[in-house]
Each structure stands twice: as structure tokens, then as C-alpha cells.
């Protein structure tokens, strides 16, 4: 299946702003270790905004919610309104559903809990770089989802892609239907196979049908 990084054609420029220097330095080293990204760091919102204005363009800006200068979601909204990067996301150690919904409503490309593993954090970042909104799986549950426990853990978009697989549609056909890129659908198929513990799209569709999904 390959990893999400296989779908990032060029080296991404990421601006990571967090006042916890150890976390910032560690994550920066990990994100740049595979050669798919270069990471610039900042320790406050004001510093991040100045760097973005001076050294941009950046592909993605990650903002720690509680660092100096953020003023709640003010920093996020400011970065988006000033178009400091095409993708701006929040990272934080504390969160609940209402807060994450506010983050997305403000226009963020995602919310990343600091509890994510390093690999999951990197995959989430690649996901956002592909133009998708990333949210923790446990916060993506919505009314009307399948009753089966395995399928209930899928996001709304993953269910849409899974339905396309069950209908025998190609990645291109699903992409046109959902108005996203074919590469984005490939990411979702990769994620679906991991979540359903199968090795390919055909098996994913079979598992879904066996569990009453249509």
C-alpha cells in the first residue's frame, strides 16, 4: 500500500510553533528525517507569524494552542485571514469534542493531539498536506454511522470511500464523486485497509458487505 509520504511529490515546508522546546525539537527532527519535509520552528505566535511573512511560503503551519500570543483561537484565525500558509492546524495536549469543532469551524486544516505517536503525527501532517482535514478518530463519530463496532470507528469520509469501493468504483470515479483528488482517495483507501485489517480494496469491500454495510 505504501505510506502517506509516497503521495507527497515535493519536499514540504512546515512551520512548527510550540513553546515547549523539547517537543518542538524532537518533532522537528522526526518530521524531517525522511527527507519529505523541512521544518522551521518558533516559540510563540508572533514569532511564527513574523517567520511566515519573512521566509514563506510554507505549506503547513502547526500552532500550539497554549503558547504565547495565541489568544485562544485568535492566532489560528489571524494566520488563516492573513493567508500565512494554505494549511494551518492546531496542536494541543488538551482537547474535547466542542473545542475541536470550534477549531475546524475557524477554518483549521486539522487538530493534532500531542498524545499521537510520532508516526501518526507525521501521517496526519501528510494527510493535511494532501488537502484533507485531520481529526482524531475518536472525535469523528457521527449520528447515522453503522452499528457494527468495526465500521463505527470509520470517519464520515472513510465511509463515503468505502461505499464507493463496495459499488466497484475506481479511485478516479470516487474522487470525482467526492470532489477531491485521486491521490486523496488513495490515502483513504490505505487508511481503510489499515483500520479494517485487510491488504487491499477488494478485501475491504468484502469485509464491509459481510458486516451489513451498503
Whether the pLDDT of residue 77 is over 90: the answer is: yes
Assess if residue 177 is contained within a domain.
yes
Cβ count within 10 A of residue 159: 21
φ, ψ for residue 78, nearest 5 deg? -65, -45
- DSSP-based three-state secondary structure for 24: helix
| Spatial separation of the C-alpha atoms in residues 166 and 106, rounded to whole Å | 34
What is the mean predicted confidence (pLDDT) over 30-40? 87
Shared domain for 120 and 35, answered yes or no, is yes
The CATH number linked to 186 is 1.10.10.10
Which tens digit of pLDDT belongs to each residue from 95-144? 787 888 889 889 999 999 988 888 888 888 888 988 888 887 666 544 44
Shared domain for 95 and 118, answered yes or no, is yes
Assess if residue 141 is contained within a domain.
no
Shared domain for 71 and 176, answered yes or no, is no
The whole model's pTM is what?
0.67
The string over 20-47, giving b where at least 16 C-beta atoms fall within 10 Å of a residue's C-beta and e elsewhere, is eeeebeebbeebeeeebbebbbbbbbeb
- Number of structural domains the chain divides into: 2
Assess if residue 79 is contained within a domain.
yes
| Spatial separation of the C-alpha atoms in residues 101 and 165, rounded to whole Å | 29
Grid coordinates given for 63: 500552532
Give Cβ neighbours of residue 52 (< 8 Å, ≥ 6 apart). 15, 58, 61, 79, 84, 85
Q: Which of 85, 103, 136 is the last residue of a domain?
A: 136
Shared domain for 90 and 51, answered yes or no, is yes
Containing domain of residue 157, as a range?
Answer: 149-210
Q: Which of 136, 167, 182 is the last residue of a domain?
A: 136
Shared domain for 130 and 159, answered yes or no, is no
Top pLDDT among 99 and 51 is at 51
User: Is 64 exposed, middle or buried (CB count within 10 Å of its CB: 0-12, 13-18, 19+)?
Assistant: buried
Amino acid at each position: 500500500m505504501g505510506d502517506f509520504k509516497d503521495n507527497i511529490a515535493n519536499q514540504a515546508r512546515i512551520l512548527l510553533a510550540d513553546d515547549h522546546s523539547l517537543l518542538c525539537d524532537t518533532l522537528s527532527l522526526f518530521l524531517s528525517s525522511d527527507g519529505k519535509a523541512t521544518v522551521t520552528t518558533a516559540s510563540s505566535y508572533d514569532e511564527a507569524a513574523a517567520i511566515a511573512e519573512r521566509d514563506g511560503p510554507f505549506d503547513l503551519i502547526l500552532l500550539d494552542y497554549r503558547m504565547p500570543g495565541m489568544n485562544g483561537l485568535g492566532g489560528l484565525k489571524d494566520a488563516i485571514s492573513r493567508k500565512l500558509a494554505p494549511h494551518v492546524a492546531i496542536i494541543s495536549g488538551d482537547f474535547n469534542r466542542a473545542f475541536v469543532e470550534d477549531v475546524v469551524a475557524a477554518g483549521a486544516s486539522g487538530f493534532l493531539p500531542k498524545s499521537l505517536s510520532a508516526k501518526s503525527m507525521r501521517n496526519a501532517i501528510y494527510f493535511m498536506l494532501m488537502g484533507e482535514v485531520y481529526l482524531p478518530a475518536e472525535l469523528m463519530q457521527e449520528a447515522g454511522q453503522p452499528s457494527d463496532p468495526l465500521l463505527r470507528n470509520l470517519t464520515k469520509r472513510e465511509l463515503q470511500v468505502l461505499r464507493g469501493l463496495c459499488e466497484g468504483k475506481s479511485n478516479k470515479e470516487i474522487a470525482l464523486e467526492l470532489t477531491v483528488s485521486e491521490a486523496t482517495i488513495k490515502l483513504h483507501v490505505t487508511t481503510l485497509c489499515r483500520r479494517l485489517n485487510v491488504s487491499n480494496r477488494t478485501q475491504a469491500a468484502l469485509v464491509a458487505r459481510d458486516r451489513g454495510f451498503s
